[in-house]
Structure 1
Amino acid sequence: MARIPVESFVLGPAQGATLQRQVQDAVTRGVLAGRMRPGDRMPSSRALARHLGLSRITVTLAYADLVANDYLVSRGRSGTFVSPNAPTPAPVPRAARPARGGVDWSRALGQRFPDPAPLARPADWRRYPYPFIYGQTDQRLFDHGNWRRCALQALGSRDFGPLSEDAYARDDPYLVEQITTRILPRRGIDARPEEVLVTMGAQNALWMAAQVLLTQRRTAVMERPCYPALREILQLGRCIAQEVAVDGGGLPPGQVPEGADVLFVTPSHHCPTGVTMPLARRRALLALAERREMLIVEDDYEFELGFVTPPLPALKSLDRTGRVIYIGSFAKSLFPGLRLGYLVAAEPVIRELRALRGLVLRHVPGHVQRTAAYFLAQGHWDAQVARMTRAFRDRRAAAQAAMDTHGLAPARANAFGGSSFWMRAPEGVRAIDLADRLRARGVLIEPADAFFSDPRPGPFYRLAYSSIASEDIPEGIARIARETARLAGSAQAVWP
């Protein structure tokens, strides 16, 4: 038996964990690594608290949890020891060094995959005072309490089956019910449970749709600019991929090339410019698809956040022939790390998609599905969307007022709302250079080069207000205007 020195305890990166959890993790890491062996004596709670600069109650509670989990054992006045029942690390043999002339991986790999488009934001973006970055959850707006209660409810014994069972290719029927009765009717979509598939977010849905609908001999058409992951998915599928440039009304139906088999489109809120496709153009696109026997994949991302004008009907709601495959997700209304979405299509399509998903990942984790189902069923999702809509409306107004003051303007009008503006730097100014200058001044913007197939740096960037408080927006916009003017070589930037 050895006494474990207090100096051997160092708390790792917090990663959002409580101090109590960090102490527990430090002990479990030591046990699992073999540095703390059964029978070894732990430092007293007072000594460890003093060493780590924590309160004694924090260490005492951490020790109590470790005793309950049989990592530690308390022996009255003798102290606290590593339990004889604590997990013991398995011996790890040292890996042999590969011999010369080993595997030639450049030939052995059967397929190469495109690198994901680089993130336009640093990992520590939250520490910047003016983060105009897109797609991240604002913790100030999220309903932590009710989400936690729904997660605990999903962990109860009543739901142990949906939580723990291998459902093979089935989805949680309770979540599917909420999607068909609470979400899809908002978009005018009437769907049966057999026409809905739960996915690991919209990107997973796009990949599965491409796998099922396309071959190397079929042609896919996407918007220009477009969601970078979609372009990479189509490249991976090795289909014939073509682009159609969007205008102020989204994708023009008359520009869709002959012979197109599948069209990928974001009509309600084009990604990334934010323009909305008019109703007449939507009808024309559906008529074109019917004449040419073309399928349409509609990505209706961020539909919940349309607040400038009343939302137009989804393509899927206008579809009378079953040609539209509809994709939605909870990434914007809840949080992107949830990785939860849904796909709505004709039953034969869903059947094939379900079989594909079953081969790859079976189903979305049961606890995730049931927690989201409770959050929807109890009305928390509706309240969450309403809260975000009010906040985003105020932030958009603050950003627009600040841009008017400093002579800035979006590159495209946005009658939808959402959470961002599509911007263009002055002639001769690259967005990536502007972003670099602004980052040094505490401001984050997102250069939009990844949205274009042309890899050369361009003038476009996305200015999002989903993660910045209203009171911080005017100063952030002012800094953007000043740096833009400096780069443009004039006292005031001129925006084409």
Structure 2
Amino acid sequence: MALPVETFFLHPDAQGTLQQQIQQMIAQGILSGRFRQGEKLPSTRRLAAHLGVSRITVTIAYTELLANDYLSSKGRSGYFVSANAPTPPSFEPLTERQDAVDWSRAIGQRFSGGAAMSKPQDWAKFRYPFIYGQADPTLFDHANWRLCALQALGQRDFSALTTDYFDRDDPQLIEFIARHTLPRRGINARPEQILITLGAQNALWLTTQVLLTQRRRAALEDPCYPALRDILSQSRCHMTPVRVDADGIPPESIPPDTDVIFTTPSHQCPTNATMPMERRHALLNRAGEMNALIVEDDYEFEMSFLKSPSPALKSLDTDGRVIYVGSFSKSLFPGLRLGYLVGSEPFIKEARALRASVLRHPPGHIQRTAAYFLSLGHYDALIRRMGSALQDRRAVMEKALAAHDLRISGRGYYGGSSFWMRAPDGVDTDALARRLHGKGVLIEPGRPFFAGSHQPTNYYRLAYSSIPSSRIADGVGLIAREIRDFG
């Protein structure tokens, strides 16, 4: 039986070259059981005409499938599904039945329902994506990242690719962080004081699990990174949100029975405030008086393109009470999920053991690829290019916001990649976001950043990391128009 050519089509969102897409399309048809052993495929000429691709592309795809024994060739008769092709399992699908388990009682601890924000997976299709933390493909150095990944796949790095590090990390990446990344923040650390994590959020989770119990208290900024509040809630510790001002978290407002203080002094999330040196010393003194620890999330310090970044809080710490959280996911791309913890050796020892029991270690190949990208200078070149582009976009956005009389609540005087905005009272930015979504505009409502049941509803965040300068003014104009309609 011949397979009709109409059953073959390329998915518009498929990844890879046309040759790879055709291979995947046919392989999936065989693996799913739609194409059966002995069935004849369309000729290369006919399939090429149907798909609108060159005949040589189809021929190469067929040849690869032939080599992998998915297809067989019979002289001039054409191509057929091979008798040795994988066969799908032969069983009747189970009919869906109601569980006999009462999951409301079986679940001992709930992790869903938090304030963590979700972002559309198809954000790149929107014309005005003012959302934070997504990679701009026009800025990322994809060519050199690919070369570093290929180098990490080489025979010389076979051990890094295949080794089970258990509770250890790639020594090349650790060495670069210790000798190059941390000294730029004024931090000196030995390899035993550094732990690689699956991004900053994983680092915050490990820290929370090691330091906090149901009897201990954590102080956190308000507003703050929503996922941090979820992480602390799951630990069942006592939480005290401390409202930030223009300089970050006020030390005098932190309760005296606090055990751990979570802060983003270099670039407060989401207000973009930078904590001045005087307050940094005051925060360290306050923590010393209470015998509390400080967890410093130093995200986006690389994006200080207006002024040189202030020294990290960890660099001012003489007591060993500051635990430092860094991340490459924000500056490279969020899907990388690569961060690090820096702290005193007893703490890192426990965090390392906990990480090993949960996920052992981040993939060695990813660590080695990042180590090459960093050590060969590609990372610094990327940061310079991103900083220049973000500075231009920031200037365009400031001009557009001023032209439409939109209020900036926090702008980040050292740089950054977003503005913290405040709409007029009475404007619900959740509703605003839904209305703008239909017009091709993405914004981030500010409500999830705040703690408590009486969260302000008129704040929102506008990021400029993923939108070209040429579209910013029109996008801001649409936002301003929708806000006026609320009036």
Q: TM-score, normalised by structure 1?
A: 0.94
2:444, 2:384 → 1: CA distance?
26
Question: Which residue does 2:150 correspond to in 1?
Answer: 152
Question: Which residue does 1:247 correspond to in 2?
Answer: 245
1:219 CA displacement = 0.5
Letter in 2 for 1:127: K
Question: Which residue does 2:302 correspond to in 1?
Answer: 304
After superposition, the Cα gap between the structure-2 partners of 1:17 and 1:199, relative to the gap in structure 1 and judged at 3 Å, is same
Matched, 1:7 2:13: no
2:212, 2:14 → 1: CA distance?
41
Question: Which residue does 2:214 correspond to in 1?
Answer: 216
Q: Does the residue aligned with 2:408 lie in a helix, a strand or coil?
A: coil
Q: Does the residue aligned with 2:262 lie in a helix, a strand or coil?
A: strand
Matched, 1:169 2:167: yes
Question: Which residue does 2:291 correspond to in 1?
Answer: 293
Q: Does the residue aligned with 1:458 lie in a helix, a strand or coil?
A: coil
1:322, 1:424 → 2: CA distance?
38
What pairs with 1:243-392 in structure 2 (closer than 5 Å)? 243-392=241-390
1:75 CA displacement = 4.1
Question: Which residue does 1:492 correspond to in 2?
Answer: none
> Any conservation in 2 of the 1:267–1:300 contact (CA below 8 Å)?
yes
1:97 CA displacement = 5.3
1:190 CA displacement = 1.0
2:462, 2:411 → 1: CA distance?
13
| Runs of 4 or more consecutive aligned structure 1 residues displaced over 6 Å after TM superposition | none
1:75, 1:196 → 2: CA distance?
60
Which of the residues 195, 198, 201 maps onto 2:196? 198
Question: Which residue does 2:87 correspond to in 1?
Answer: 88
Matched, 1:473 2:466: no
Question: Which residue does 2:133 correspond to in 1?
Answer: 135
> Any conservation in 2 of the 1:431–1:457 contact (CA below 8 Å)?
no
2:291, 2:126 → 1: CA distance?
50
1:250, 1:170 → 2: CA distance?
35
After superposition, the Cα gap between the structure-2 partners of 1:377 and 1:290, relative to the gap in structure 1 and judged at 3 Å, is same
> Any conservation in 2 of the 1:253–1:284 contact (CA below 8 Å)?
yes
1:69 CA displacement = 2.8
Question: Which residue does 2:63 correspond to in 1?
Answer: 64
1:48 CA displacement = 1.3
Q: What is the CA deviation profile of residues 201-228 of structure 1, one whole-angstrom value per residue up to 9, with x for unaligned ones?
A: 1111111100000011111111000111
Q: Does the residue aligned with 1:189 lie in a helix, a strand or coil?
A: coil
Which is worse superposed, 5-14 or 149-158?
Answer: 5-14
1:290 CA displacement = 1.7
Which is worse superposed, 224-233 or 171-180?
Answer: 171-180
Letter in 1 for 2:21: Q
> Any conservation in 2 of the 1:121–1:444 contact (CA below 8 Å)?
no
1:93 CA displacement = 5.1
The alignment's C-alpha RMSD in Å is 1.8
1:173 CA displacement = 0.7
Which is worse superposed, 169-178 or 229-238?
Answer: 169-178
Which of the residues 226, 229, 242 maps onto 2:227? 229
What pairs with 1:47-58 in structure 2 (closer than 5 Å)? 47-58=46-57
Question: Which residue does 1:43 correspond to in 2?
Answer: 42
Letter in 2 for 1:87: P
Letter in 1 for 2:46: A
After superposition, the Cα gap between the structure-2 partners of 1:75 and 1:303, relative to the gap in structure 1 and judged at 3 Å, is farther
Q: Does the residue aligned with 2:80 lie in a helix, a strand or coil?
A: strand
1:18, 1:449 → 2: CA distance?
42
After superposition, the Cα gap between the structure-2 partners of 1:8 and 1:438, relative to the gap in structure 1 and judged at 3 Å, is closer
Matched, 1:79 2:78: yes
Matched, 1:482 2:481: yes
Q: What is the CA deviation profile of residues 339-361 of structure 1, one whole-angstrom value per residue up to 9, with x for unaligned ones?
A: 11111111111111111111111
1:324, 1:461 → 2: CA distance?
31
2:469, 2:401 → 1: CA distance?
14
2:330, 2:286 → 1: CA distance?
31
1:81, 1:156 → 2: CA distance?
36
After superposition, the Cα gap between the structure-2 partners of 1:440 and 1:30, relative to the gap in structure 1 and judged at 3 Å, is closer
Aligned length: 486
Q: What is the CA deviation profile of residues 141-187 of structure 1, one whole-angstrom value per residue up to 9, with x for unaligned ones?
A: 00010011111111111111111222211111111112112211111
Question: Which residue does 2:428 correspond to in 1?
Answer: 430
Letter in 2 for 1:480: I
Q: TM-score, normalised by structure 2?
A: 0.95
Question: Which residue does 1:493 correspond to in 2?
Answer: none
2:394, 2:267 → 1: CA distance?
16
Q: What is the CA deviation profile of residues 281-322 of structure 1, one whole-angstrom value per residue up to 9, with x for unaligned ones?
A: 111111121221111111111111012222111011111111
2:157, 2:68 → 1: CA distance?
24
Letter in 2 for 1:83: S
Which of the residues 444, 449, 455 maps onto 2:447? 449
Q: Does the residue aligned with 1:461 lie in a helix, a strand or coil?
A: strand
> Any conservation in 1 of the 2:247–2:273 contact (CA below 8 Å)?
yes
Letter in 2 for 1:249: D
Which is worse superposed, 18-27 or 366-375?
Answer: 18-27
1:35 CA displacement = 2.7
1:13 CA displacement = 5.1
Letter in 2 for 1:48: L
Letter in 1 for 2:204: L
> Any conservation in 2 of the 1:120–1:447 contact (CA below 8 Å)?
no
1:332, 1:363 → 2: CA distance?
20
> Any conservation in 1 of the 2:66–2:72 contact (CA below 8 Å)?
yes
> Any conservation in 2 of the 1:300–1:328 contact (CA below 8 Å)?
yes
What pairs with 1:170-189 in structure 2 (closer than 5 Å)? 170-189=168-187
1:120, 1:96 → 2: CA distance?
32
Which is worse superposed, 363-372 or 25-34?
Answer: 25-34
> Any conservation in 2 of the 1:248–1:413 contact (CA below 8 Å)?
no
1:126 CA displacement = 1.6
Q: What is the CA deviation profile of residues 348-384 of structure 1, one whole-angstrom value per residue up to 9, with x for unaligned ones?
A: 1111111111111111011111111110011000001
2:337, 2:306 → 1: CA distance?
27
Q: Does the residue aligned with 1:263 lie in a helix, a strand or coil?
A: strand
2:398, 2:98 → 1: CA distance?
63
2:3, 2:433 → 1: CA distance?
50
Q: What is the CA deviation profile of residues 13-62 of structure 1, one whole-angstrom value per residue up to 9, with x for unaligned ones?
A: 52433322221111111121223334433221111122223222222222
